Amino acid sequence: MDVSTLVIVAVLCIVLVYGVFIYNNLVQLKHNVSKAWANIDVLLKQRHDELPKLVETCKQYMHYEKDALEAIIKARSAVSTARQDSDIKSLGVAETQLRLGLGNLFALAESYPELKASESFQYLQSRITGLEQGIADRREFYNESTNLSNIRIEQFPDVLVARKMGFKAFDLLEFSEVEKTDIDMNMLFR
C-alpha cells in the first residue's frame, strides 16, 4: 500500500469512528428523553390514583360543590387519555385544567371546616401537593432533556447522522398562558 491509500483509509476510519460516537450520543439523548417522560408518567399515575379518593372524601362534606368535583373528574380523565397516548400537547392543556380544578377545590375546602379537619382530606391534600411538586420538577427535567436532544439533532455534524438514522425532534411539555399567570386568590374565595 502506498501512503495516499493509507491516509485515505485512516481518514475513513476516523470518520467512521466519529460517526459511531455521534450516533451513540444521539441514542443516549433519545433515551434520556424517554426516561424523563417515564418519570413524569409515574407521578401522573400516582396522582391519577389519588384523585378519586380526594373526590370521594370531598363528596362526603361538600354536597353543594358538584361542579368543582365534576371538573376535576373530567380533567383527570383528559390527563389520563393524554398520558396513555403520550400526547405531550394535549397533556399540557389537560394538566392546566386539572391544576385549576384542584386549586379551586382546595380553596372551596376553606368553607367546609369539617372537611379541612378530616385526616383523610389533610393526607390527600398533602399527598397531591407533593405529587404536584414532583411533577413540576420532572417536567423541568423532561424539557431540559428534550431541548438537549433537539439541539443536538440540528447541529452540524450531528444533523447528518440524525437525518440518516431517522432521529426526530421531541415536543416540549408546555402549558397554557392561564397556568403561567398568577392565580387571583380573591376569585377563588367568592
- Per-residue pLDDT at 185: 40
Question: Which CATH architecture is the domain 3-188 placed in?
Answer: Up-down Bundle (1.20)
Helical residues (DSSP H) of 62-87, grouped into ranges: 66-85
pLDDT tier at 65 (50, 70, 90 boundaries)?
Answer: confident
Q: Cβ distance 161 to 19 under 8 Å?
A: yes
**Using one digit for the tens of pLDDT, what is the confidence trace for 30-44?**
999 999 999 988 998
- Per-residue pLDDT, averaged over 67-91, amounts to 87
> How many Å apart are CA 146 and CA 171, to the nearest integer?
7
Q: Is 64 a residue whose pLDDT tops 60?
A: yes
> Which grid cell sits at 19?
460517526
Per-residue b or e along 93-132, where b marks 16 or more CB atoms closer than 10 Å to that residue's CB: bbbbbbbbbbebbbbbbeebeebeebeebeebbeebeebb
Q: Is 66 a residue whose pLDDT tops 90?
A: no
Q: Is 97 a residue whose pLDDT tops 50?
A: yes
- Per-residue pLDDT at 62: 77
- Per-residue pLDDT at 182: 47
- Global pTM value: 0.70
**For the chain, which residues make up each domain, given as ranges?**
3-188
Provide φ and ψ at 101, rounded to 5°.
-65, -45
